[in-house]
Amino acid sequence: GAVVSQHPSRVICKSGTSVKIECRSLDFQATTMFWYRQFPKQSLMLMATSNEGSKATYEQGVEKDKFLINHASLTLSTLTVTSAHPEDSSFYICSAGGTGVPGAQYFGPGTRLLVL
């Protein structure tokens, strides 16, 4: 149980294009999902908290117009990187609170984004 999937797993795009990443909780409902960014050999940096049916809460320094988050249902949240640039290249990971250990998050496998 508590499986989270992400799609795509890897994406390469040209600078200036937008990229959408999907995060799905496969076997549970997640009212709250989280989006993280991870640079090589670094820890996870929380970008935003995504709440179903309401606006996402962004961490300080994260541009909400650049990283659009939509949490349309209890099993799906999307992150759209708009007008991507090479510096947006990173590993993006989503997570959702699930059943079992209270407070524990279940992480997706991550999406590797490379902007050329």
How many whole angstroms from its chain centre is CA 73? 15
Decide if residue 1 touches another protein (CB under 8 A): no
Decide if residue 89 touches another protein (CB under 8 A): no
Question: Shortest CA distance to 37 belongs to which of 90, 114, 113, 95?
Answer: 90
With contacts defined by CB under 8 A, name the span among 11-19, 67-75, 82-90, 100-108 that binds another protein.
Answer: 100-108
Which one, 32 or 82, has the nearer CB to another protein?
Answer: 32
Name the β-bridge partners of 97.
105
The type of residue at 23 is C
User: In the block, which residue shows the tokens 């759209």?
Assistant: 80
Is 33 within 8 Å of 21 (Cβ atoms)?
Answer: no
Per-residue binding string, another protein, 7-36, x by CB under 8 A, is -------------------------x-x--
Which one, 9 or 73, has the nearer CB to another protein?
Answer: 9
For 102, residues 6+ apart whose C-beta sits below 8 A from its C-beta are none
- Give residues in contact with another protein (CB under 8 A): 4, 6, 32, 34, 42-44, 46, 49, 93, 95, 97, 101, 103-110, 112
